[in-house]
Amino acid sequence: MSPELAYVMGCLVANGGLTDSHRFGNIPMTTNNEVIGEKYVSYIKALFGVDVKVATRKNGTGHEVTNYSICSVYVRDFLAKNDLSFVASNKKHIPESVLRSDEECVRAFLSGYISSDSETMTKGSAEFILSTASPRLHNDLKSLLLSFGVFARSLIKYKAATNGTGIKRKYGSLCITSDNRARLLELIDLDKECLNIDAPRLRSDSDKIPFL
């Protein structure tokens, strides 16, 4: 495990279409944050020597999203052997290889995950919101943050996926506020584009696709 691989895994657990790979090895990762996208592409090329196809499309709600796609059975098999599970969003979890790795890699995973899939809210004080449809991932993230001394408050809510179905599903949210947010920012590197808290609401990825 390396920090670069851990960061890539963080992006994929956050916004990767892990059920789309099939036998052709197609692995899409969605983000509208160019900073994250460029870092993801550079790490993929450095780790595997493969190209990443970048394409913009409209999702089910008519919003434009940018896909960063790898098409490689080798990469898919390598990631699977390193404990990345190719499952639906409601069954995602943190790979065991990340949990067993050193602190630098764990921090890199959290950097990739939180940069790719978090919201910043301001209501007098800023807070990070981490939402997931996977109960296991929710608990994994909460435990991992707590191991670094970062407390996150758990909330359960129902919201519609952005795939156009309009079906509301159960999501677990982790709210990280005040001193805990400051502690988190001391621990991990987040792209500056994701740290602007002047606006009432900022999402590090302007459009998430919950059920890829």
3-state secondary structure of 15: helix
Q: Spell out the residues 6+ positions from residue 194 whose beta carbon is closer than 8 angstroms to its own.
A: 33, 35, 36, 114, 115, 118, 120, 202, 204
Q: Which residue has the higher pLDDT, 136 or 198?
A: 136
pLDDT of res. 201 = 38
The pLDDT tens digits of the residues spanning 121-172 come to 444 455 678 888 888 999 999 999 999 999 988 887 766 665 556 666 777 8
Which two three-digit tokens encode residue 113? 């995950």
Contacts of residues 145-149 at CB distance under 8 Å and 24 or more positions apart, as own/partner, are 145/110, 145/174, 145/176, 145/184, 148/183, 148/184, 148/187, 149/183
Mean pLDDT, rounded, for 96-110: 93
Q: Which amino acid is at 205?
A: D
pLDDT of res. 47 = 95
User: Tokens 């670069």 — which residue?
Assistant: 4
Do 68 and 12 contact (CB within 8 A), yes or no?
no
Which two three-digit tokens encode residue 56? 């913009």
Q: What percent of the chain has pLDDT over 70?
A: 75
Mean pLDDT for all residues in the chain: 79
Do 167 and 88 contact (CB within 8 A), yes or no?
no
What is the distance, to the nearest Å, from the Cα of residue 198 to the centroid of all Cα atoms in its chain? 23
- pTM comes to 0.81
The pLDDT tens digits of the residues spanning 11-40 come to 999 988 888 656 677 888 888 888 889 999
